[in-house]
């Protein structure tokens, strides 16, 4: 009969794998009439009014932060300690724009990630019609 892995080894393996996942912050850009996406501790819903150029805003922020363009919807830059910060723009099947701010392999959120979110929100405020 084969001996199974010890529980301690399994726990250590799980901790090691969990530490390699990085940190992801997700921004969902929704109109007031859109159904809100599922909430998680690492996501935020950002309400937008009218026809806002989310790709244009994200691209502008990536350029301001001097990020390298990997493809039209993905930018990256190196951060401290051989880590990278990636900005990923995508549109869901429900036509909701989503931006993932990804730090890898660190589990901590980088200054670059925080700054990118702040810049995106600031540009979005400037493009929103007055209420």
pLDDT at 41: 73
3-state SS, 17-54, equals HHCCCCEEEEEEEECCCCCCCCCCCCEEEEECCCCCCH
CATH 3.30.1480 fits 22-127, yes or no: no
Least Cα distance to 74 among 57, 88, 84 occurs for 88
Is the model's pLDDT at 87 over the cut of 80?
A: yes
Q: What is the pLDDT of residue 10?
A: 52
The region, left, alpha or beta by phi > 0 then psi within -120 to 50, assigned to residue 15 is alpha
Give 130's pLDDT tier (boundaries 50, 70, 90). Answer: low
User: How much is the mean pLDDT over the chain?
Assistant: 84
Domain ranges of the chain: 22-127
In angstroms, rounded to a whole number, what is the distance separating the alpha carbons of residues 85 and 113? 7
Q: Who's near 10: CB < 8 A, 6+ residues apart?
A: none
35/6 Cα distance (integer angstroms) = 46
Q: Is the dihedral of CA 91, 85, 39, 36 positive or negative?
A: negative
Q: What is the pLDDT of residues 29-86, one digit of tens each?
A: 998 888 777 767 788 889 998 889 999 999 999 999 999 999 989 999 999 888 999 9
């Amino acid at each position: 009969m084969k001996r199974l892995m010890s529980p301690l080894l399994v726990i250590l393996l799980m901790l090691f794998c969990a530490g390699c996942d990085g940190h992801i912050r997700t921004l969902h850009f929704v109109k007031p009439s859109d159904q809100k996406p599922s909430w998680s501790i690492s996501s935020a819903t950002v309400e937008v009014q009218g026809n806002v150029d989310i790709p244009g805003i994200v691209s502008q922020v990536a350029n301001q932060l001097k990020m390298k363009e990997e493809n039209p919807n993905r930018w990256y830059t190196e951060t401290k300690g051989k880590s990278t910060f990636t900005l990923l723009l995508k549109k869901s099947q429900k036509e909701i724009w989503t931006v993932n701010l990804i730090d890898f392999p660190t589990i901590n959120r980088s200054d670059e990630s925080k700054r990118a979110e702040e810049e995106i929100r600031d540009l979005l405020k400037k493009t929103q019609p007055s209420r």
